[in-house]
Structure 1
Amino acid sequence: MGFFDGLMGGRAAQFQSGSASSNAIELTKRHPTVSLSKQGAVNGNLRVNLSWRMRTSDFGGRSRQSGRLLRHPSKLFKPEIVQAHTQGVVNVDLDMGCLYELADGSRGVVQPLGNLLGDLNDPPYVKLSGDDRFGSPSGETLYVNLDHADEIKRLLVFVYIYDQTPAFDRTHAVVTLYPTTGPRIEIALDERAPEARSCAVLSLENVKGELVVRREVRFVYGFQAELDRLYGWGMQWGRGYKTAKG
């Protein structure tokens, strides 16, 4: 069981193609934004997927790990045991959530903690599919109903570490957006932040009727309350708990 914060109370269209596929946009520090409106992707359900695996350098060297994966390719996304700095052996568990602010001023959070999974057809028009404990190939998925884009002012998608063991520096995590039209959009959490427990990954903002996705990738050492302060959501937070699964 781990504790986390629980809820209580500019236009741009620059991008570069991702190296993994010609049909992908990779948001980077140099090219951090893309306009969904200019892609014509402003309706239907926007799918936001989180997936991750451990860095190969953490398992006895890149060559040994690569050889093992060649022999057993199905193990590429299998959960791995890693050595923590201070707690012996741990599993890394990433959770995804979303802070939202609607056009009417209402604010809140969608996240596994507290079973606040949202709603796709009613406010906040954001729905979390579930909690994937170990980063399987399907990962965790958040859906945004862009048929109600006019009612959404801004969203902030974030990722945090479930078991309180800082390990972002030992994971290779990617958040991928799948619009209804146009190429997918990839944001890699590729910066080393050994002590961070949370990361603001991306924002989606309605800027004078234009939907703009911005790469954030800002690591913090706390949880949701610290992200709230950083981005000015202005909500009240208290310590929350998430029950371990069997």
Structure 2
Amino acid sequence: MSFWEGLLRGRSEQFESGSAATNCIELTKRNPAVSLTKQGAANGNLRVNLSWRMRTSDIEGRSKTSGKLLQNPLKMFQPEVVQAHTQGVVNVDLDIGCLYELTDGAKGVVQPLGGFFGGLNEPPYVKLSGDDRFGSPSGETIYVNLDHRESIKRLLFFVYIYDQTPAFDRTYAKMTLYPSNGPRIEIDLEERAPQARSCAVFALDNVKGELIVHREVKFVYGFQAELDRLYGWGLQWGRGYKARSGER
């Protein structure tokens, strides 16, 4: 085996074993579900984090274009047109939210809009830690107290754009679950949905005592009421507002 063959083979093995090496489970269309119970992570506080950053260029588009350069080498000398999407162009304010249904029949939502921040040691055992309006590295976080898992029937975590600017295609967004034990779980909002305003990211269901996380990543063109109808929550919705910066 030559040096270069060995180097390429080593890099291939690193990428193939990337999930194990980084102690991470990535939920995809082909592998959409994982059991927290079987992972030994169905207790303590589950931390669910939303993070995002603005796209600066269409990297995938450029990679597809590179293959065409071989067919037309003269294009190598033409300047590439790159449209940068920054907060100066469009102000995207992504918010995390959670629809909950408890085993006693209680239903509701935890979200920044309207100031529904929930509670961790009291029903619904789901608590929003804060509202990030600028896409900082820390993002937004919701905590779920799984020590009260017997009281939780189902949860639906979603993302919506508060300022009503449909621009999911201008952000790289990811939801990451950090259980009290075991590997973290990542779900990328990788599909392009330029006109969507909301996205159901994942569901957490209590199925006969087993907590199962299931990837959804379903974009809708409305807001929470449309997600409600899609998943049959049956809540009454009205116009809501965020508190000004520094207010609660």
Please confirm whether the aligned pair reaches a TM-score higher than 0.5, indicating the same fold. yes
Question: Hey, what does 1:81 align to over in structure 2?
Answer: 87
Q: Name the SS for the 1:56 alignment partner.
A: coil
Report the Cα distance in structure 2 between the residues aligned to 1:240 and 1:27, rounded to whole angstroms. Answer: 32
Q: Name the SS for the 2:228 alignment partner.
A: helix
Q: Name the SS for the 2:104 alignment partner.
A: coil
Give yes or no for contact 1:168–1:197 (8 Å, CA) kept in 2. yes
| TM-fit CA distance, 1:90 | 2.1
Report the Cα distance in structure 2 between the residues aligned to 1:152 and 1:244, rounded to whole angstroms. Answer: 32
Question: Hey, what does 1:98 align to over in structure 2?
Answer: 98
Give yes or no for contact 2:159–2:200 (8 Å, CA) kept in 1. yes
Report the Cα distance in structure 2 between the residues aligned to 1:114 and 1:243, rounded to whole angstroms. Answer: 8
**Unaligned ranges ≥5, structure 1:** 1-15, 64-78, 83-88
Q: Name the SS for the 1:181 alignment partner.
A: coil
Question: Hey, what does 2:109 align to over in structure 1?
Answer: 109
Normalised TM-score (structure 1): 0.80
| TM-fit CA distance, 1:62 | 7.7
The answer to whether residue 167 in structure 2 is matched with residue 161 in structure 1 is: no
Give yes or no for contact 1:172–1:190 (8 Å, CA) kept in 2. yes
The answer to whether residue 239 in structure 2 is matched with residue 239 in structure 1 is: yes
- Which string of whole-angstrom CA distances, capped at 9 and with x for unpartnered residues, describes residues 129-183 of structure 1? 0100011111100000000000000000000011111110110000000001110
Give yes or no for contact 1:99–1:157 (8 Å, CA) kept in 2. yes
Identity %: 78
Report the Cα distance in structure 2 between the residues aligned to 1:210 and 1:104, rounded to whole angstroms. Answer: 18
| TM-fit CA distance, 1:55 | 1.7
Report which of the two has the higher share of helix: 2
Report which of the two has the higher share of strand: 1
Query: What root-mean-square deviation, in Å, do the aligned CA atoms of Structure 1 and Structure 2 show?
Result: 2.3
Residue identity opposite 1:180 in structure 2: S
Residue identity opposite 2:124 in structure 1: P
Question: Hey, what does 1:193 align to over in structure 2?
Answer: 193
Question: Hey, what does 2:8 align to over in structure 1?
Answer: none
Give yes or no for contact 1:56–1:62 (8 Å, CA) kept in 2. no
Give yes or no for contact 1:177–1:186 (8 Å, CA) kept in 2. yes
Change in CA separation of 1:21 and 1:96 when aligned onto 2, cut-off 3 Å: farther
Residue identity opposite 2:219 in structure 1: F
Give yes or no for contact 2:104–2:151 (8 Å, CA) kept in 1. yes
- Number of equivalences: 209
Report the Cα distance in structure 1 between the residues aligned to 2:30 and 2:181, rounded to whole angstroms. Answer: 24
Give yes or no for contact 2:45–2:143 (8 Å, CA) kept in 1. yes
Give yes or no for contact 1:18–1:25 (8 Å, CA) kept in 2. no
- Which string of whole-angstrom CA distances, capped at 9 and with x for unpartnered residues, describes residues 3-39 of structure 1? xxxxxxxxxxxxx976595310000000000000000
Structure 1 runs (4+) deviating above 6 angstroms are none
Give yes or no for contact 2:220–2:227 (8 Å, CA) kept in 1. yes
Bigger relative contact order, structure 1 or 2 (CA pairs below 8 A, ≥6 apart): 1
Report the Cα distance in structure 2 between the residues aligned to 1:109 and 1:201, rounded to whole angstroms. Answer: 15
Q: Name the SS for the 1:148 alignment partner.
A: helix
Give yes or no for contact 1:58–1:170 (8 Å, CA) kept in 2. no
Report the Cα distance in structure 1 between the residues aligned to 2:174 and 2:27, rounded to whole angstroms. Answer: 11
Give yes or no for contact 2:23–2:183 (8 Å, CA) kept in 1. yes
The answer to whether residue 133 in structure 2 is matched with residue 133 in structure 1 is: yes
